[in-house]
Amino acid sequence: MSSSDRVRDHAGQGASTVAAHRARRRLRADRARQLADLLRHQVLGGAFPTGPLPHESVLATDYRASRNTVREALDLLRAEGLVERLPGVGTVVVAQKYPHGLDRLMGLAETLREHGRVTNEVRTMGPVPAPAPVADRLHLPSGTDVLYIERLRRLGGLPLSLDLTYIPLDVGAALLGEDLENTDIFRLLETLTGRPLGHAEISLEAVNADAHSAAVLQAPHGAAVLMLERLTHLSDGRPVDLEFIRFRGDRITMSGLLHRSL
């Protein structure tokens, strides 16, 4: 073997070692994600209500995974803020996500009734001339005054969502004297108009919180936020409530039932 052959051979071995190492790491990362998804479901479903998660070695046996994979899966859940490792105790659940129904149109206090008390800090409230996209969606002439409300909503005292709301003034004016701190706008709209709500068009996105929104929600910079845009109509079809809602991603799960045929 010439010396140049030896050099080439050596470089080839090095490259294949690096490639094999990368492949192993990728495989372990794939398996860790797979395991993390299963454990996330258990954690959020309340499978470990009273104590720590099973020991790493038990999880490794139960899920036929290596200890390293288990550790990496738990690291993923820790990065999401769902679990924490306590020295001498193990891995414990530190976060709870609350279920928000996707099956029926409900206000926050209504949908979370079993989970605690919703309180609303009204940050801004007052008439503003409707910008064109708002006027358009509320079926008003552009520039008509609408009621604009900005609320930081808390569950059990902790920030849950930041809601920006536009309401036609003929309906909204009566809201000014109401107890917005403790009552869903949905409920107030039904009481004040004497009509039930009908339906809402919704869209849901995942976005990274900008610095200011993150600060208001007391979430880390760049935290994932579940963004809900919702246009709600009264039962007679009139649009009465346009909302832009940022839910803290670590505190809410939207859930519902879909059917194959309509």
* Residues 162 to 191 in contact with its own copies, rule: CB under 8 A: 164
Indicate which single residue of 83, 197, 214, 217 sits in contact with its own copies (rule: CB under 8 A). 197
Whichever of 177 and 223 has its CB closer to its own copies, that residue is 223
Q: For residue 255, what are the contacts with CB-CB under 8 A and spacing of at least 6?
A: 99, 100, 101, 102
Question: Coil, helix or strand for 231?
Answer: strand
Q: Which residues on adjacent β-strands are paired with residue 226? A: 206, 247
* Amino acid in position 32: A
Angle (CA) 210 213 215, round 5°: 105
Q: Which range of residues in 12-20, 85-93, 153-161, 252-260 is near its own copies by CB under 8 A?
A: 252-260
Which of positions 94-113 make contact with its own copies (CB under 8 A)? 97, 99, 102-105
Which of positions 19-58 make contact with its own copies (CB under 8 A)? 26, 29-30, 32-35, 37-38, 41-42
Burial code (b: 16+ CB inside 10 Å, e: under 16) for 138-163 equals bebeeeebbbbbbbbbbbeeebbbbb
Whichever of 33 and 139 has its CB closer to its own copies, that residue is 33
Whichever of 11 and 122 has its CB closer to its own copies, that residue is 122
Q: Which range of residues in 13-21, 73-81, 114-122, 169-177 is near its own copies by CB under 8 A?
A: 73-81
Q: Which range of residues in 11-19, 59-67, 86-94, 177-185 is near its own copies by CB under 8 A?
A: 59-67
Whichever of 2 and 141 has its CB closer to its own copies, that residue is 141
Q: How far apart are CA 199 and CA 196, in angstroms?
A: 10
Classify residue 231 as exposed, middle or buried by CB count within 10 Å of its CB (0-12, 13-18, 19+): middle
134 binds its own copies (CB under 8 A): yes
Q: Which range of residues in 85-93, 151-159, 167-175, 221-229 is near its own copies by CB under 8 A?
A: 221-229
